[in-house]
Each structure stands twice: as structure tokens, then as C-alpha cells.
Structure 1
Amino acid sequence: MLTTTAHLYIRRPSPTTAEFTVTTRPALTLPLRLALLSLSILRLTLFFVILFTLYTRFLTTSSLHSSPETNPLLLALASHLHTLHLSPAGQALTRLVAPIPAWLLAGISIPLLCFTVAWELHTSESLLVLRGLGIQTSTTGGFPWGSWRPATRFIPTEKIRDVLINEAFRGFEVRYYLVVVVEGEEDVVVVFPKLLPRRKIVEAVWRGVRGCLYEANDGMWYGVGKG
């Protein structure tokens, strides 16, 4: 329900520009929106619980409260955390984590804290084609990637030697993937490297990229292979 198999969206804002996006995000129906909202609330709750746990164990005796040079916002945050720490729930949490060794608590809490911030449920990879300028690949979502830090690369048109479909064995399965041959580089650039969509999508994107970059009649390929 929350994710789906990789599928293709094609966007064509102008005759010389095309964007091909492969994503695991399903259509945003009302049940999916509610499920994603619930998941976001759960992640936010977990984030603050872990943050408060670290505070109760390591920062309750810190000089942050008394230092005159501390930022006022940090002082206000420390004041609220201290108030929460003195509450019955805060004291119960303090007693719960007290027997846990500090190194073990930090070793578990910090990765979980980073995970709640960086992890994205859906993965999206896109290829933007600009005739006369070049192409740009982008990957967002899926740990360790996050929507806040997309992995992008731009390849100028004069550096593009060819756009090809290669095949390789993955276990006992033959997989087809789109590659860009870049002048002056020994290794090819793999498009959609994380999702590696099925052959139908790869062929549709290959036709679309070549149609946008090289062919005069752009309308011949538009709309082929969506889904």
C-alpha cells in the first residue's frame, strides 16, 4: 500500500525538454495520504523520544543552563527539556535508561536519530533531458539518500558520446539498464542505478532520450511506455 513497483512518469514541458521519472511512490489516494501522515507522526514522535532520552542521560548536568554566552533559543529549549525531565514521565524514562551503559545508549540512539531524519519511504530517480544543453540524473529518497540531499549529476551535450541499453546478470536474472557513454571517462553513467526498472521502462526512456536529443520529429516518441 505504501510503496509500489517502480513505474515511469514522463513530463514534457517544452518540445526540447523532457523529464523521465521512475519512482516507487503510488498514486496519492486518500488512504495513502492518511497512512503517510500517520507514519510521519510516528517518526516525529520517535525522533523527540530519542532526543529527550539523550538529553536525560547526557545533558541534564550540562553547563548549557548557566552559560551566559548560550544562544537564547538553546536556553529556552533546555528550559523546556528540563521541565519535561522533572515530570513523572521524564523521571520514569530516566529510571528506564539509567541501567543502560552510556556507550550502548549512544550507539543505539544516534543511528536511530539519524535514521528518523534521513530515511525516505519512496525512492525516485529522474533523467532530465535538455536539447542543446545536456542531461541531468537525480536520485532522491531511500536511505542513505534523502529528499533533502538528492544525488545529481549534469552531463553537457558535447560530452555525451551515446545513450545505450546494456544487459547484465543479476543472480540468475538478466537485467537491462540505461547507460550514458561520456567522453573522457572509462566508466559509463548508469541511469536509474538504484531502482533498475524493468526492460519496458528502460526501452521507453531510451527512445525518449534519443528523440529529445537527436531526432527532429519529437512527437513520434511522446507518451510511449508510460506506466
Structure 2
Amino acid sequence: MLTTKPYLRIRRPSPTTAEFIVSTRPPLTPPLRIFLYLVYLIRLIAGLEILLLLYSTWTLSPYSQSPPPTNRSSTIATASAPLLSLATLHDLLRAVQTTALGRLNTRVAAAAPAWVLAPGGLAALYLLLLRIHTEERLLVLRGLGIQTTTPGGATVLARGTTRFIPTGKIRDVLINEAFRGFEVRHYLVVVVEGEDDVVVVFPRLLPRPRILEKVWRGVRRCLFEYEGKAGMNGEG
């Protein structure tokens, strides 16, 4: 329900611009949009709870620092600390620990061994940060070039990569095939002048040949056929 096979969406913001999007996210109907918001909210609450449990485990361990002395100078320093600082975060977590939820996490952290809670909590956080959908984009700007956008790693914290290739450096756009295990996979590549390696478009999803052919025709029509027609008009 949350994911689907890679499919193609085409956006045309202007007559000279085309964007090809290969995504595993189903079309956003109103029920699916509401369901996704609920999933994101649940993941956020669960992540905060795991962080609070890990913090409680840390405060009970012998490696945690002793609380700062409550003298006048430390009170003044805390009062003058910036809003986003480690001291402010420490005070906030201490305040949360005094609540019913904080006391419950402290009892759980005291009952379970740290060598179980710490790896388990980190593994749960990793699962909560995994991407639900994968989306790769190819933006074609007539007369300027193309821009590829690929998401980063498996988690939402990983930064994606974006590359722009000017039209003057694009030698060709091709569909190649290669062996991946015991199957043949097709992929779209851009041959860049002066580079030995080709630029693979949609490298993570590797969509079906039917999608690649549609993107290939659209890219060539926008980049090369337009230039050929302009040259013919100039010669005439």
C-alpha cells in the first residue's frame, strides 16, 4: 500500500522544460495522504520515546557525567545560555525525566541491562529512519542541459546527490544493458565529453526498459531534435 513498482511521472513546467520522475510512491490520494501523515507521526513519537529511553540508560550508567553544581555562578551561566545549546538540551531532558513518562523510562532502563537496551534502541532508530519511498529525477532544460537528482543512502538523513551537465558537454544519451546476477538490466546513461565514465540516470531504481525508452525519447527530443530543426530552419 505504501510503495509500488517504479513508475514514471512527467512534469512540464514550461514548453522548454521537462522533468522525468521515477518513483516508488503510489499516487497521493486523500486517504493515502492522511495515512502517510499518521505513519510519519507515529515514527516521530516512537523515535522520541527511544531517544528518551537511551538517555535514561545513559544517566544510569557509570559513564555519565555528574550533574553540575547548583551554585549561583552556574545558575547565571545556565540562564544566559543560548536557547539551542547542550546545556539547554540537558535541562530539557532532565525536566522530561521528572514526568510520568520519564520515570517509566527510568524504571525500564534500571530493570534491563544497558548492553541490551543500547544496541536495540539504536537498531530501532535505524529502522524508523529508513526511507519509505525512493524517487529519482531527471530535469531537462532546453538549451541549458540536464540535471540528475538521486537520493542518498537508505535513511532519510543521508544527503542526495544532484549534478548538472551542460548541453555542450553532452555527447549522447543511450540505453545500455548489463548483467546483474543472472538477469539482464537496462539503464539510461549520459555520455559526457572529457569523462571516461558515463553518468547513469536512475541508478538506484533501474526502471523497466519501457520507462527508459520513454525517457530516452523525451530527452533526445528536447535536446537534440530541437537543435536539428533550428539548424534546418537557419539553412533554409
* TM-score between the two structures when normalised by the length of structure 2: 0.78
What is the deviation of 1:109? 3.2
Q: Which residue of 2 aligns with 1:20?
A: 20
Asked if 1:84 is matched to 2:96, the reply is yes
Of 125, 129, 137 in structure 1, the residue corresponding to residue 148 of structure 2 is 137
Q: Which moved more, 1:48-57 or 1:158-167?
A: 48-57
Structure having greater relative contact order (Cα 8 Å, sep ≥ 6): 1
Q: Which residue of 2 aligns with 1:44?
A: 44
Q: Which residues in structure 2 correspond to 1:1-227 (within 5 Å)?
A: 1-59=1-59, 63=67, 67=74, 68=77, 70-74=81-85, 77-102=89-114, 105-110=117-122, 112-113=124-125, 116=128, 118-140=129-151, 143-144=154-155, 146=156, 149-216=159-226
Cα pair 1:119 1:141 within 8 Å, conserved: no
What is the deviation of 1:57? 2.6
What is the CA–CA distance in structure 2 between the aligned matches of 1:64 and 1:150, rounded to whole Å? 41
Bigger-Rg structure (1/2): 2
| DSSP-derived class of the 2:26 partner | coil
What is the CA–CA distance in structure 2 between the aligned matches of 1:58 and 1:101, rounded to whole Å? 11
Q: Which amino acid aligns with 2:136?
A: E
Cα pair 1:123 1:142 within 8 Å, conserved: no
Gaps of 5+ in 1: 219-227
Cα deviation code 1:189-225 (max 9, x no counterpart): 110000100011000000000000011399xxxxxxx
What is the CA–CA distance in structure 1 between the aligned matches of 2:68 and 2:195, rounded to whole Å? 52
| DSSP-derived class of the 2:3 partner | coil
Cα pair 1:124 1:141 within 8 Å, conserved: no
Q: Which residue of 2 aligns with 1:221?
A: none
Cα pair 2:21 2:136 within 8 Å, conserved: yes
Cα deviation code 1:149-203 (max 9, x no counterpart): 3321111112211100001122332221100111122211110000100011000
What is the CA–CA distance in structure 2 between the aligned matches of 1:72 and 1:174, rounded to whole Å? 56
What is the CA–CA distance in structure 2 between the aligned matches of 1:123 and 1:72, rounded to whole Å? 35
Cα pair 1:180 1:189 within 8 Å, conserved: yes
| DSSP-derived class of the 2:131 partner | coil
Cα deviation code 1:64-116 (max 9, x no counterpart): 79651543455555444323312343223212223555465444434544654
* TM-score between the two structures when normalised by the length of structure 1: 0.81
When the two chains are superposed, the root-mean-square deviation of aligned CA atoms in Å is 2.8
What is the deviation of 1:127? 0.4
What is the CA–CA distance in structure 1 between the aligned matches of 2:122 and 2:69, rounded to whole Å? 23
Cα deviation code 1:27-80 (max 9, x no counterpart): 111221222122111111111112211322335865479651543455555444
What is the deviation of 1:140? 3.1
Cα pair 2:152 2:161 within 8 Å, conserved: no
What is the deviation of 1:141? 7.0
What is the CA–CA distance in structure 2 between the aligned matches of 1:90 and 1:110, rounded to whole Å? 19
What is the CA–CA distance in structure 2 between the aligned matches of 1:217 and 1:65, rounded to whole Å? 74
Cα pair 2:22 2:137 within 8 Å, conserved: yes
